[in-house]
Structure 1
Amino acid sequence: MVGYQEFVSLCQSPDSEDRGRAAHLSAIAYLNHHGPADEQAALYAALIGFLDDPSVKVRAALAYGLLHSSDAPRPIILALLHDSAVIARAVLQYSPVLIDADLFGLVQSAEPGLLLAISERDRISPRLAAALVSCGDRPITLRLLRRTEIDLPAPLLSNLAATHGDEAQFRGALLARDDLPADARLLLVQKISAALRNCRVVKGSLATERLNRLLRNSEDTAVSSIGEREAVAGPSNYVSALVETSRINARVLLHAMVTGHVMFFAACLAELSDVPHAKVLAILERGSRPALHALLSRCGLGQGVGNLLARLVLHARATDLVDDAAARHYVVTALTEELIAEHAGVIPAELEEAFAYLSEQNIPLARQAARGVMAAFAEEASLDRALPAPVVEPIALPAA
């Protein structure tokens, strides 16, 4: 407990340490005061007096006492905001008294240290975050992107994906955000694919044809998986943008069904055919084969491609294409064999792209389906079952 006379002595001391102690005590006393109004006024006057102290240590002690409280006097916080850099940074970062209107005026003219302090505040509004990003400071923009709790406007995120998507750090920070727009996410996937294609380590490890095939399959997966997420979330312009840019083709539609992205597949058909989404889903779930053909024909697909997609839909009704790799392998194998048998090994030009896609998928799907099969079989097989022993025939050496 410090008496008033002792407090006055500390305030008048020539030692800045004593005056700093008094400043901190007065700040704590003011924030926790529940006594008479005149006593409160005296404490407030004491706080005002410490603002004029020549020592930065004293003013810093005052700021430290008020820094984290929402009950701190606003005039004193604003005065400390324009104090020395070390005090201003602390106030900008921690004081809950400051509102966006106090900060907007500083953002456009503040030095990087003050901008960094603002970017580390506990709560940052979308508008303030956009103002900070507009300053063009790369480290601060990256820091804000990595704070996923801050809601950033969708146009801002799309613009950052377009302008900074070639940088790996920005790609990672953007892709980690759940609020990243679908078109920006797809753009970043394409930039990643281009970066991998031009990477010397990757190019030196894989043959060009195999690398192109892997990247093309990855891009198709990205298109359909992003589309599935958008379709499940609700109305979106993602599919319509794909249609406008001619990104929807037979390969993408086949890949969507093979990977179990049925909602995206339905959204594509609804956009292409101009049929309500609910009606498209009903036809896919329980529609007859003629109804399927009519829907696919209305989408502008050729007869051969439409027939192939209709077969795939009928196969998908009886199998789990989302999680069962063996089911996907079975369906792709069945479709491939049906095409070969139906056309006597001579695949029409209309179906060449689709047939090439099915052939590409067959090997990786077979590998996925085969993983763990032998281990699972060995666990369930009886002990008396074993692989047959190899027959070793003696090798006769030629005569010398």
Structure 2
Amino acid sequence: MVAYTEFVRLSQSSDSEERGRAAHFAAVAYLSHSGPADEQAALYAALIGFLDDPSVKVRAALAYGLLHSAEAPRPIILSLLHDSAVISRAVLQYSPVLIDADLIGLVRNLDLAMLLSIAQRSKLSARLAAALVARGERQLTLRLMRRLEIGFAEALLADIASQQGRDPEMRGALLARKDLPAQVRLMLVQMITEDLRQARIVKGALAPDRLARLLRDSTDTALSAIGEREASKTHRAYAAELIVSDRINTRVLLHAVVTGHVMFFADCLAELSQTPRDKVFMLLESGSRPALSALLGRCGLKQATRGLFVQLVMHARSADLADDAAARHFVVTALTEEMITDHDGVIPPELEEAFAYLSEQNVMLARKAARGVMAAFASEAARPMALPVAAPERLALSAA
């Protein structure tokens, strides 16, 4: 407790430290006041008086006392907002008294340090965040993109991705956002692919052909994984847009099934065949071979390709392709052998792309499935490795 006479003495002191203490006492007393109205009016008048104090320390002490309270007097907060930079930045960042209408008008003219203070407010509306992004400051935009709780319009995120997607930090911040549109996410993945393709450390570590296969496989996986997530949210626009942009082909459809992204596969079939999604799911789960072939025919696939997909669906019904690399390897191996057998080793032209894809996958999946197998076996094996007995070395004698 501080006596009013002592408070008056401190507030009239020539020492800025003592006046600062008085300013802080007045702020705390005003916010916690529950007494007579005349007492509150006196405290309010004291707060107003400290606004004219020549010392920044005193005004900062006043601001510190009021900064985090929604009950702080609005006129005083607005006055402190236009005080020295150190006080103004604190008010911009912390005061809950300020509303969007106060801040949006300031955003157009504030410097970067002030804008960053606003960007660090505990609560930031989408409207205010969009106004901050409109300033075009990279550091500011990056900070806002990393605030995942703020919702941004899809068009705004698309603009940022197209303009600044080559910036690795910005790209990472965008990809971490759940509200990023699927097509924008795919565009950023393609940028990453191109950057990896050009990176000297990557180019020097892998042969060009193998690098091209790995990047193509990774891009296809990303495309179908994004599609799987969109399909789980019943968003069919992604598949439709890929079809319109001619991004869906035999390889992509095969990859979707082989990687276990069957919901995306179903969406693609539904769009291509103009068949209800529920009916497509029913056919994939339990439809007969002729029914599946008819559905694939409506998608525009040729007879030989339809037969391949029917075989793939039949295998996929009894295998966990989403998580089991060994199951994927088994299915791909079986499909490859069936194609060779069915066509007597002469693969039709319409199946060459599919056969090339399956051959690539066979090698990649064999490597994945084999990793760790020998180590696991060795830890459990009770007998030594069986090796053939070496034959005794024979002397070669010259003929007599």
TM-score by length of 1: 0.97
**1:117, 1:177 → 2: CA distance?**
22
Q: Report the Cα offset of residue 57 of structure 1.
A: 1.2
- Name the residue aligned to 1:106: 106
RMSD: 1.4
Q: Report the Cα offset of residue 379 of structure 1.
A: 5.0
Paired letter, 1:3:
A
Give CA-to-partner distance per residue, 1:99-147, whole Å, 9 cap, x none.
1111000111101111010011111111111111110111111111112
**2:138, 2:397 → 1: CA distance?**
79
The equivalences for 1:245-324 within 5 A come to 245-324=245-324
**1:4, 1:67 → 2: CA distance?**
24
Task: Select between 331-340 and 150-159 the one with higher mean Cα deviation.
Answer: 150-159
**1:72, 1:396 → 2: CA distance?**
102
- Name the residue aligned to 1:28: 28
Q: Report the Cα offset of residue 201 of structure 1.
A: 1.2
Paired letter, 1:172:
G
Paired positions, count: 398
Paired letter, 1:134:
A
The equivalences for 1:380-395 within 5 A come to 381=381, 383=382, 385-395=383-393
CA contact (8 A) 2:321 2:327 kept: yes
The equivalences for 1:331-346 within 5 A come to 331-346=331-346
**1:147, 1:156 → 2: CA distance?**
15
**2:50, 2:304 → 1: CA distance?**
85
- Name the residue aligned to 1:202: 202
- Name the residue aligned to 2:57: 57
Task: Select between 4-13 and 260-269 the one with higher mean Cα deviation.
Answer: 4-13
CA contact (8 A) 2:236 2:267 kept: no
Q: Does 1:122 align with 2:122?
A: yes
Paired letter, 1:196:
L
**1:151, 1:397 → 2: CA distance?**
83
Q: Secondary structure at the match of 2:122?
A: coil
Paired letter, 2:48:
I
**2:395, 2:132 → 1: CA distance?**
83
Q: Secondary structure at the match of 1:235?
A: coil
Q: Secondary structure at the match of 2:69?
A: coil
- Name the residue aligned to 2:191: 191
**1:375, 1:215 → 2: CA distance?**
29
Q: Secondary structure at the match of 1:174?
A: helix
Q: Report the Cα offset of residue 149 of structure 1.
A: 2.1
5+ long unaligned stretches in structure 1: none
**1:395, 1:163 → 2: CA distance?**
72
Q: Report the Cα offset of residue 373 of structure 1.
A: 2.7
**2:395, 2:209 → 1: CA distance?**
44
**1:298, 1:380 → 2: CA distance?**
52
**1:3, 1:135 → 2: CA distance?**
50
Q: Report the Cα offset of residue 235 of structure 1.
A: 2.2
TM-score by length of 2: 0.97
Quick one: percent identity of the two aligned structures?
67
Deviating above 4 A after TM superposition, structure 1's stretches of 4 or more consecutive aligned residues are: 378-381, 396-400
Give CA-to-partner distance per residue, 1:179-234, whole Å, 9 cap, x none.
21111110011000000111111111111111101000000000100000110022
CA contact (8 A) 2:189 2:219 kept: yes
**1:270, 1:117 → 2: CA distance?**
49
CA contact (8 A) 2:253 2:265 kept: yes
Q: Report the Cα offset of residue 10 of structure 1.
A: 1.2
Give CA-to-partner distance per residue, 1:43-72, whole Å, 9 cap, x none.
111111111111111111100100011111
- Name the residue aligned to 1:234: 234
Q: Does 1:138 align with 2:138?
A: yes
Q: Secondary structure at the match of 1:318?
A: coil
Paired letter, 1:260:
G
Give CA-to-partner distance per residue, 1:324-380, whole Å, 9 cap, x none.
111111110111011111111111110000000000000111122222333444455
Q: Report the Cα offset of residue 399 of structure 1.
A: 6.7
Q: Report the Cα offset of residue 304 of structure 1.
A: 1.2
Q: Report the Cα offset of residue 11 of structure 1.
A: 1.3
The equivalences for 1:77-92 within 5 A come to 77-92=77-92
Q: Report the Cα offset of residue 397 of structure 1.
A: 6.3
